[in-house]
Amino acid sequence: MDASEVAVLRDAALAAFAGAEDVATLEQARIDHLGRRSPLGEAQRGLGALDDEERRRVGALLNGLRMEVTEAFDRRHGELDAIELGRRLERERRDLTGPARRVRPGRPHLLTQVEEEIVDVFVGMGFSVAEGPEVESGRFNFDLLNIPPDHPARGTMDTIYVDEDADVVLRTHTSPVQVRTMLTHEPPIAVVCPGRVYRADSVDATHSPVFTQVEGLLVAEGVSMAHLRGTLLAFARALFGDDREVRLRPSFFPFTEPSAEVDVSFDSASGWLEILGSGMVDPAVLSACGIDPERYTGFAFGIGVERVAMLRHGVADIRDLYDADARFLAAF
């Protein structure tokens, strides 16, 4: 091994490193020119077979060669790292001065908006909010509300039963939530109970087997129908406008006595529109729920949220509220 052979090995290695355009190719060139099986590697391993003087001479030559080639490798490696970083930065470049991608904000469903609006009006008057289960016992949904076992509303034509033998139903109104409130709280009680309710109805433009109610209950000493009327007038004006009037028409519900349908005045063309049912809580209901009807009286009302939403927003078909058509819902 002499200086010219070393020069050949060095030139071959430097040429291979210079020709490597990426780190993987460069690594292969390192193995070829600096690895154990490379000519340099073999030569260094073969040093032991040489005599002392020759080993010192050739060993120094090979060490010098290894240092020079290793240095060249490191330099090229550094260059390729910089080049690849540059390529990557270019590839992942983001133009932060460009227009931002438009994010369309979501919003609550129209029914949720109207439900919350109704609840907010009563919360503003001092009512609390209570919720309860959608699967109910016949006892809470009917018995304690003065609806007897043979009442037609309890039949399978009107009520969806989860378990007929066990008298378990999908609640037909949110009244059982008020029943539960009366059973666990002393008057004065003022609650509104929003939620989904279920009836065995066929679907048409104004009926759905699932709909949404907000019921309200106020029980205290000295509560009269005047309080009911004043509360509902304030509600109608908050929701539909300060120029509204309300009109109570005699009606019947098993759980209120007397009972009244409540109409709100609209424009001269539509005249009066019915928006809810109401009444003074029947003393039998107060008694069944553990409240002394000699001391306390109360009023209650039930509002159909779909009906209010349809009146407020000019929706003609209740099915539009359930179809989940984004083009329709985006309008609200």
Tell whether residue 211 is a contact of ligand 2NL (CB under 6 A).
no
Does residue number 310 form part of the binding site for ligand 2NL (CB under 6 A)? no
C-alpha 232 chain-centroid distance: 33
Q: Which residue, 194 or 302, is less far from ligand 2NL as judged by CB?
A: 302
DSSP one-letter string for 125-179: TT-EE----SEEEHHHHTGGGT--TT-GGGSTTT--EEETTTTEEE-SSSHHHHH
Contacts of 76-80 with CB under 8 Å at 24 or more apart are 76/17, 76/18, 76/20, 76/26, 77/23, 77/26, 80/20, 80/21, 80/22, 80/23, 80/26
**Residue list 142-181, contact with ligand 2NL (CB under 6 A):** 175, 178-179
**How far is residue 17's CA from residue 285's CA, in Å, rounded to a whole number?**
95
Q: CA dist 93 to 50, 85, 86, 245, 331, Å?
A: 58, 12, 10, 64, 38
Binding mask 256-285 for ligand 2NL (x = CB under 6 A): x-------------------xxxx-x---x
Q: How many CB atoms lie within 10 A of CB 193?
A: 26
Residue with smaller CB distance to ligand 2NL, 78 or 290? 290
Q: How far is the CB of 309 from ligand 2NL (least distance, A)?
A: 13
Of the candidate spans 29-37, 83-91, 211-219, 318-326, the one that interacts with ligand 2NL by CB under 6 A turns out to be 211-219
Nearer to ligand 2NL, 38 or 141 (CB): 141
Which residues, other chains included, contact 172 with Cβ-Cβ below 8 Å and sequence gap of 6+?
Answer: 141, 153, 158, 159, 197, 198, 199
Find the binder of ligand 2NL among 142, 235, 240, 255 (CB under 6 A). Answer: 255
Smallest gap from Cβ 145 to ligand 2NL, in A, equals 6
Total of residues contacting ligand 2NL (CB under 6 A): 19
Question: Residue 279: beta bridge partners?
Answer: 259, 300
Q: Give me 289's structure tokens.
A: 């729920």
Would you give the DSSP letter of residue 291?
-
| Closest CB 221 distance from ligand 2NL, rounded Å | 17
Written as one letter, the residue type at 170 is: L
Q: How far apart are CA 252 and CA 243, in angstroms?
A: 28
- The 234-253 site mask, x for binding ligand 2NL (CB under 6 A), equals -------------------x
In the complex, the smallest distance separating the C-beta of residue 293 from ligand 2NL, rounded to whole angstroms, is 12
| Closest residue to bound ligand 2NL by CB | 302
Least separation in angstroms between residue 140's CB and ligand 2NL is: 10
Site residues (CB under 6 A) for ligand 2NL, limited to 290-309: 300-302, 304
Binding status of residue 114 toward ligand 2NL by CB under 6 A: no
Q: Which is nearer to ligand 2NL, 38 or 297 (CB)?
A: 297
Give contact residues for ligand 2NL (rule: CB under 6 A): 175, 178-179, 213, 215, 217, 253, 255-256, 276-279, 281, 285, 300-302, 304
